[in-house]
Amino acid sequence: MNEPEISEKPRRRGVRRTGVSLLLIVLVVGVGGTLWLRHDDESSAATPPDPGVPVTTALSVQGDVPIYLSGLGTVQAFNTVTVTAQVNGTLVDVRFKEGQMVKKGDVLAVIDPRPFQDTLDEAVAKLKQDEVDRDYAKVTLDRDLKLDNQSVTQQTVDNQRSTYHQLEAQVNQDNAAIADAQTQLSYTQIISPLDGRTGIRLLDQGNVITTTDTTGLVVITQTKPISVISTLPETDLPAVQEAMKAGAVTVTALTKDGGSALGSGTLTVLDNEIDQTTGTIRLKSTFPNEDETLWPGEFVQLRVQQRVEKGVVTVPSAAVQRGSDGYFIYVVKPDSTVDARPVKVGQIEDNVAIVETGLKAGETVVTAGQYRLEPGIKVMPEDNSSQTPATDSKKVS
């Protein structure tokens, strides 16, 4: 009868322990959940919104753009002269420095003038002697003509007249000899025949120089103005002819890699035939070259202005991307997301592209950072629109 009472008390104590444990577990879970939710809210509040992919941008602009045809060329001196001697002799003086700018008429060198001065002096002395003989013959002839025919025969008069004319001719010959001697003497001064720059001296003072020496004393090149001989494909011939008919054609010489301009000039000659071997036409252009940025023998890139495109839209060429379907440009929309806009690119030159269709003036385009973009992505533009695209262009191949 007493055994059931003894077993009921432990059972009650076990139930109370289980209830307390469950209550503790509920409290712990509740407090932990509250703390986790509070931490998550604090973390969410501390994380800033995504500002977008950083990119560089520029504005598309509208303007007039000159269009060029481009080809390679070689700078050529406007005139080149090898200075040679016109008389034989010993160089006693060289008056120019290598690489010096000289003017037409400057004395470059002097040949020993003494032998030529002696020849001139002899010619002058002979003239004086012959003039005395001529004058005496003239006096004699005049006297004979005044005498009576019985005193002087006609034969004597004729002979005297012949003598006078012979001496007169001799005097004229002496004058010619003097002029020739003076000319030969003047040739002992070697004169620059043009304005230009001297090259390396080819003969030193003390050497004998001769008229048969084709090497000469020095080569002078005229570099102000200067010429550029260039070529264009024969397919460009009609465009060049049309430009020349419209007036003077402006040309620009660039470094061989096209990196910088060396000068502006004018197209002066279009060759009269096409080179059938290369399929090209030669052009000759003239440049003032006042600062001598163009140098004979230098390779350059020549741009021939073909025409001017009016009111075209241009962007930096870095904005133009090529995809599987052609050219496209990332355009930044008002909500700072980008759109991959298909475009038709007409011409590119000097880091500037003409956009024929697909873009309007004043739109913001991405010029750097495109590799991280795709349509709809938000961007953080770094405005570069103050750098207006240049307006020099050429046809895209």
Range of the domain at 318: 56-62+311-394
Domain closes at, from 187, 209, 238: 187
What mean pLDDT is reported for the chain? 86
**Roughly how many angstroms between the first and final C-alpha of the chain, as a whole number?**
114
Domain at 305, CATH number: 2.40.30.170
Domain at 137, CATH number: 1.10.287
Which residue's entry shows tokens 């241009």?
314
In angstroms, the Cα distances linking 101 to 82, 104, 170, 224, 227 are 15, 10, 46, 11, 18
Could you count the other beta carbons within 10 Å of the beta carbon of residue 92?
14
In angstroms, the Cα distances linking 308 to 68, 171, 234, 311 are 9, 72, 21, 10
Statement to judge: residues 340 and 276 lie in one domain: no
SS3 for 355? strand
Residue 70 predicted with pLDDT over 80: yes
Highest mean predicted confidence (pLDDT) among 32-46, 141-155, 200-214: 200-214
Statement to judge: residues 179 and 259 lie in one domain: no
Statement to judge: residues 317 and 337 lie in one domain: yes
Statement to judge: residues 164 and 225 lie in one domain: no
φ, ψ of residue 331 in degrees (nearest 5):
-110, 130
Residue 11 predicted with pLDDT over 80: no
Residue 49 predicted with pLDDT over 60: yes
φ, ψ of residue 104 in degrees (nearest 5):
-60, 130
Report pLDDT digits (tens) over 78-88. Answer: 999 999 999 99
Statement to judge: residues 268 and 304 lie in one domain: yes
Statement to judge: residues 302 and 322 lie in one domain: no
DSSP H or E run through 353: strand 352-357
DSSP H or E run through 81: strand 61-83
Statement to judge: residues 296 and 325 lie in one domain: no
Report pLDDT digits (tens) over 352-390. Answer: 999 999 999 999 999 999 999 999 999 998 755 444 454
What's the token pair of residue 338? 């980008």
Statement to judge: residues 337 and 297 lie in one domain: no
Could you give the CA distance from residue 352 to residue 60 in angstroms, rounded to a whole number? 10
Q: Across residues 236-256, what is the average pLDDT?
A: 93
Statement to judge: residues 231 and 295 lie in one domain: yes
Whether the CB-CB separation of 302 and 228 falls below 8 Å is answered with yes
Report pLDDT digits (tens) over 301-348. Answer: 999 998 888 999 999 999 999 998 899 999 999 999 999 999 999 888
Could you count the other beta carbons within 10 Å of the beta carbon of residue 56?
17
Sign of CA dihedral 284, 289, 295, 300: negative
Compare 350 and 372 and report the one with higher pLDDT. Answer: 372
Statement to judge: residues 340 and 328 lie in one domain: yes
Report pLDDT digits (tens) over 123-135. Answer: 999 999 999 999 9
Residue 397 predicted with pLDDT over 60: no
Residue 218 predicted with pLDDT over 50: yes
**Structure confidence at residue 19 as a pLDDT band (50, 70, 90):** low
The predicted pLDDT at position 4 comes to 47
In a domain, 29, yes or no: yes
Statement to judge: residues 288 and 320 lie in one domain: no
Burial class (CB in 10 A: 0-12, 13-18, 19+), 99: exposed
Domain closes at, from 260, 290, 309: 309
Could you give the CA distance from residue 266 to residue 286 in angstroms, rounded to a whole number? 6
Statement to judge: residues 280 and 236 lie in one domain: yes
Domain closes at, from 290, 309, 328: 309
Q: Across residues 93-97, what is the average pLDDT?
A: 97
Report pLDDT digits (tens) over 153-211. Answer: 888 888 888 999 999 999 999 999 999 999 999 999 999 999 999 999 999 999 999 99
| Domain count of the fold of the chain | 4
Could you count the other beta carbons within 10 Å of the beta carbon of residue 231?
19
